[in-house]
Amino acid sequence: MEIIRRHDEFTDEEIEEFQDEIDLFYEHWINMFGMFGQEGITNYIHMMGAGHFAYFLHRYRNLYRFCQQGWEAINFKIKSIFMHNTQHGGHGAVKRSMLLQIIWFLQHDMMWRSGYGDQFFQT
């Protein structure tokens, strides 16, 4: 994983070496979890063993730009907003939108982060 987190671009030789390391790891993983069938094969293990990482490295030369941490952070924020600041559609509401509260909080957050929050949201 240290190799794949590099910020600079990979050469073809480095990609081939990386895939060779993945192949060795995958072989050991399959031997270790072989008796359990597909239970040991997660999405990331499949992507490594099938050569998807190497394909994308050849195509884009670096996977760091596709890091999912930002998406995970926003998913956590949306889940927190939904769980703590909405009524989950309850209390007998016929046309209550849970999405409006989430949109309001995300817009509010975006305005504060961009520096415009003090102009629009003064109390």
Other CB atoms within 10 Å distance of the CB of residue 48? 21
Q: Which two tokens stand for residue 115?
A: 């520096």
Tokens 């239970």 correspond to 39
Positive or negative: CA dihedral 39, 21, 68, 46 = negative
User: Over its length of 123 residues, how does the chain's per-residue pLDDT go in tens digits?
Assistant: 778 778 889 999 999 999 999 999 998 888 887 656 667 788 888 888 899 989 989 998 988 777 767 777 878 888 887 787 666 655 655 666 677 778 888 888 888 778 776 666 555
User: What pLDDT score was predicted for residue 35?
Assistant: 58
